[in-house]
Structures are given as structure tokens and as C-alpha cells.
């Protein structure tokens, strides 16, 4: 471990899927490090891929100025480079060959004289960083992901922008659904967590919210929609998380990538739900899959602020002597936790979350029998 007073040069790396606010964090980390402590900053390109291949570049004030509002990451990212299990080619059967190349990452840190590494990423990226922490590299993590599913923090930056993007899309679907008396099914991202669906569903006043944490009953969803089409406004909005599934059923997998630390790519449940609704209710139904629009574009103000705050706290944590820590927000306070504790774990929506209770109270369906037993929801079904 390098004592805080001996920190002269740090690396900054963005790993995993990109999200709005990455550049806000890079800017805050680099500016705080350079301005407050005279620390030199080195950008690692394309996440752990760049650390494995020693692809780095010095970062100046100029490099990190004017990037606050920019989507993506100026450093590039990669979601297939896990140092502990890196694909180095294929065998004669075309199967990928994996090697532990953690030593190459350590060599890059030494060659670039890095006293610490600021790693900005989600649970997969923190898991990739774990072997480096165990090998004595000082890593400070910053929690990123639109999915908001990182253990240890109540919020990740990027999430609120994704929610805003999804809400905007759902609002637009609302008016066209109304005009054509249709059911609009909108599939949003989130992997195994329903945070984006829950928040955007509530923000847009969607009628049905389907999340992975509450497997849905096809009968409940269709009865609810049929009742609304019959006696209510004659249109319906369904927001479905990509990880949602019927009770006793399975998630819909869009593709498998064995070279990625998380090989499963979800997607397709929106079409399944739409087909089911149309077949069972007779209501004309359309599907919209928002996909990567939720990851792209400029961060909303809240994410610029959160990213800036997280970036600043990351350097303060480092300079206070933090080793192998991840900065988090809990009860609206910024603090740091053991990075190894959060690595590779997912924070799902608790099924008794107060937002779910509130949504049920105003008549939103989660497609389960609780909708039918909750007294308020019962009377609100056909309002």
C-alpha cells in the first residue's frame, strides 16, 4: 500500500457498459487530484482491456475540461476484459481460451508508476478489480450503472438519466396509445433488477409495471388490461424490465457472449408480453424496446451533480488513506465501503419497497395476485 502522502500519480479507468455521467466523474476525479493535491493523472483506455495491454495516456486539465455534459466516456470502455479470465483466442473447436492476466495489469500499473487506480464501474468491473486489490494495487471504486443494482450504495450515477430517458419515451407512447386505443408495451433495461422499470413506470403513470423481482401471472396482467380497455380509458401502458418473467417461467435471453464476464444479454420479453396481451385480450398491442438509448446521451443535471460528488469523494477517500474502497451514498450521505464486499453482487428491488406499495395503492398493477388482494388496487383497476 502507498501511504496517501506518497501518492503522486493515479490511473483512471472506466469499465463495463457505458452510462451517462462517466465523463462527469472522470473530470471531478482528475480536477480534484490535480488541483487539490498536485497528483498526475493517467487515463487507461478501454477499461481493463487497456490495463492488460498497457494502453494509457496522460490526462491534462485540457483533456478533462468541457466534458461534463458529454455522454459516453472519453477513455473508452470494454465489457469483455476480465483480467482473471481473459479470452486470449480460440481452440481448434472454436471455443474461447481463457488466461489469468492479472500480472499484466500489475505490470501496467508499475510501468506507468501508478500509486492508485480509480476504477469507475458496476458490479462486474468491481469484480474484475478484486484480484488487483488482493495483489496489493490500491483501487478506489466509483459506482456506475444505469441499472442501479450495485450492492452498498443507494444510488449509482447514470440511473437517473436512464429513468428520465425511459420516462420521456413512455410519455410519448401514452399519447399515441390514447389516440389509437392500443396497448403499448415498453421494454426497458436493468438486467436482473427492476429499478429502471419501477421508477420510469411510476414517473410516467404506466398501468402495469413488470419487474424481475415480482414474476408476473399472465392472467392477472391480461385481466387487468382487459378491464381497463373495457371500462376505462381504452388504452394501456405496460413497462416491462428486460429481466422480467412469468411465474414459473424463465428470463428471455437475447444473446450469449461467453467471452464476457457476464455472458447473458437479456432482451425480448417486451414482444412476448405484447403477443400474450394481444392474444388474450384482443386489444391491438405494439412493442417498443428502448435498448441502448437509455445508456447514451448527455447526463441529466442530477447525474452531473452525483458524478461530480462521487469523483471528488473518491480522491478524498484515497488521500485519507483509503485502500480497496468503493465510494457510496447511503441515507443521502457519501462514505466508502470495502470494494470487495460489493464486487460481483447485484442489488435487487425489495418486493416490499415503499415505491411498490405506493404504486399498488394508486392502482398500478405488478401483474401478481397481490394486486387483486390489495383493497385499494382492487377498486382502482377500472378507474
Compare residues 307 and 322 and give the one whose CB is closer to ligand F6P: 307
Is 189 among the residues that bind ligand F6P (CB under 6 A)? yes
- Which of 18, 46, 147, 303 is the catalytic position? 147
Task: Quote the least distance from Cβ 313 to ligand F6P, whole Å.
Answer: 22
- Binding window for ligand F6P (CB under 6 A); candidates: 107-115, 189-197, 343-351, 366-374: 189-197
Compare residues 145 and 165 and give the one whose CB is closer to ligand F6P: 145
DSSP reduced 3-state for 325: strand
Is 190 among the residues that bind ligand F6P (CB under 6 A)? yes
Is 147 among the residues that bind ligand F6P (CB under 6 A)? yes
Task: Quote the least distance from Cβ 216 to ligand F6P, whole Å.
Answer: 19
Compare residues 35 and 292 and give the one whose CB is closer to ligand F6P: 292
For the four alpha carbons of 372, 375, 379 and 383, in that order, the dihedral sign comes to negative
Contact with ligand F6P (CB under 6 A) among 85, 172, 265, 353: 265
For the four alpha carbons of 89, 126, 77 and 103, in that order, the dihedral sign comes to negative
Is 266 among the residues that bind ligand F6P (CB under 6 A)? yes
Cell of 178: 390514447
Cβ contact 100:83 at 8 Å: yes
Contact with ligand F6P (CB under 6 A) among 191, 199, 325, 360: 191
Compare residues 57 and 255 and give the one whose CB is closer to ligand F6P: 255
For every residue of the chain, which 3-state class applies, written as one string?
A: CCCHHHCCEEEEEECCCCCCCHHHHHHHHHHHHHHHHCCEEEEECCCHHHHHCCCEEEECCCCCCCCCCCCCCCCCCCCCCCHHHEEEEECCCCCEEEECCHHHHHHHHHHCCCCEEEEEECHHHHHHHHHHHHCCCCEEEEEECCCCCECCCCCCECHHHHHHHHHHHHHHHHHHHHHHCCEEEEEECCCCCCHHHHHHHHHHCCCEEECCCCCECHHHHHHHHHHHHHHCCCCEEEEEECCCCECCCCCCEEEECCCCCCCEEECCHHHHHHHHHHHHHCCCEEEEECHHHHCCCCCCHHHHHHHHHHHHHHHHHHHCCCCCEEEEEECCEEEEEEHHHHCCCECCCCCCCHHHHHHHHCCCECCCCHHHHCHHHHHHCCC
- Binding window for ligand F6P (CB under 6 A); candidates: 43-51, 185-193, 332-340, 364-372: 185-193
Task: Quote the least distance from Cβ 196 to ligand F6P, whole Å.
Answer: 8
Cell of 123: 458490479
Q: Considering only residues 8 through 37, tell me which ones interact with ligand F6P, judged by CB under 6 A.
A: 17
Compare residues 73 and 138 and give the one whose CB is closer to ligand F6P: 73
| Contact string (CB under 6 A) for ligand F6P, positions 291-310, x = contact | ----x---------------
Is 336 among the residues that bind ligand F6P (CB under 6 A)? no
Specify whether 147 is catalytic.
yes
- Distance CA(127)–CA(341), nearest Å, equals 10
Compare residues 306 and 323 and give the one whose CB is closer to ligand F6P: 306
Is 80 among the residues that bind ligand F6P (CB under 6 A)? no
**What's the residue count for the chain?**
383
| Contact string (CB under 6 A) for ligand F6P, positions 107-146, x = contact | ---------------x----------------------xx
Size of the site for ligand F6P (CB under 6 A): 13
Compare residues 14 and 79 and give the one whose CB is closer to ligand F6P: 79
Cell of 354: 415503499
Q: Considering only residues 228 through 257, tell me which ones interact with ligand F6P, judged by CB under 6 A.
A: 242
Task: Quote the least distance from Cβ 186 to ligand F6P, whole Å.
Answer: 14
Is 79 among the residues that bind ligand F6P (CB under 6 A)? yes
Residues recognised as catalytic: 147
Binding residues (CB under 6 A) for ligand F6P: these are: 17, 79, 122, 145-147, 189-191, 242, 265-266, 295
Amino acid at each position: 500500500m502507498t501511504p496517501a502522502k506518497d501518492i503522486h500519480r493515479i490511473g483512471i479507468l472506466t469499465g463495463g457498459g457505458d452510462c451517462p455521467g462517466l465523463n462527469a466523474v472522470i473530470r471531478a476525479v482528475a480536477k480534484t487530484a490535480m488541483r487539490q493535491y498536485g497528483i498526475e493523472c493517467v487515463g487507461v483506455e478501454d477499461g481493463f482491456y487497456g490495463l492488460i495491454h498497457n494502453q494509457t495516456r496522460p490526462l491534462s486539465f485540457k483533456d478533462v475540461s468541457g466534458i461534463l455534459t458529454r455522454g459516453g466516456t472519453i477513455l473508452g470502455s470494454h465489457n469483455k476484459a476480465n483480467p482473471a479470465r481473459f479470452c486470449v483466442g480460440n481452440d481448434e473447436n472454436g471455443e474461447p481460451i481463457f488466461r489469468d492476466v492479472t500480472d499484466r495489469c500489475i505490470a501496467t500499473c508499475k510501468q506507468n508508476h501508478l500509486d492508485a487506480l480509480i476504477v469507475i464501474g458496476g458490479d462486474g468491473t468491481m469484480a474484475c478489480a478484486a484480484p488487483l486489490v488482493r495483489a496489493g494495487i490500491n483501487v478506489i471504486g466509483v459506482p456506475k450503472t444505469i441499472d442501479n443494482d450495485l450492492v452498498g450504495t443507494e444510488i449509482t450515477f447514470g440511473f437517473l438519466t436512464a429513468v428520465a430517458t425511459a420516462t420521456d419515451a413512455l410519455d410519448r407512447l401514452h399519447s399515441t396509445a390514447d389516440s389509437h386505443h392500443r396497448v403499448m408495451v415498453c421494454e426497458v433495461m436493468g438486467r436482473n433488477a427492476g429499478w429502471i422499470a419501477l421508477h420510469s413506470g411510476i414517473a410516467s403513470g404506466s398501468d402495469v409495471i413488470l419487474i424481475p423481482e415480482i414474476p408476473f401471472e399472465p392472467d392477472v396482467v391480461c385481466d387487468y388490461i382487459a378491464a381497463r380497455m373495457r371500462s376505462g380509458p381504452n388504452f394501456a401502458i405496460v413497462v416491462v424490465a428486460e429481466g422480467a418473467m412469468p411465474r414459473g417461467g424463465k428470463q428471455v435471453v437475447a444473446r450469449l457472449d461467453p467471452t464476457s464476464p457476464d455472458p447473458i444479454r437479456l432482451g425480448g420479453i417486451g414482444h412476448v408480453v405484447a403477443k400474450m396481451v394481444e392474444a388474450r385480450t384482443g386489444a391491438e398491442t405494439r412493442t417498443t424496446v428502448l435498448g441502448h438509448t437509455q445508456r447514451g446521451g448527455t447526463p441529466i443535471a442530477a447525474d452531473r451533480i452525483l458524478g461530480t460528488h462521487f469523483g471528488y469523494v473518491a480522491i478524498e477517500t484515497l488521500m485519507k488513506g483509503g485502500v480497496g474502497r468503493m465510494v457510496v451514498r447511503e441515507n443521502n450521505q457519501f462514505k466508502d465501503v470495502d470494494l470487495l464486499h460489493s464486487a460481483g453482487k447485484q442489488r435487487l428491488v425489495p418486493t416490499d419497497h415503499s415505491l411498490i406499495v405506493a404504486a399498488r395503492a394508486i392502482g398500478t398493477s405488478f401483474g401478481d395476485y397481490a394486486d387483486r388482494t390489495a383493497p385499494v388496487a382492487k377498486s382502482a383497476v377500472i378507474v
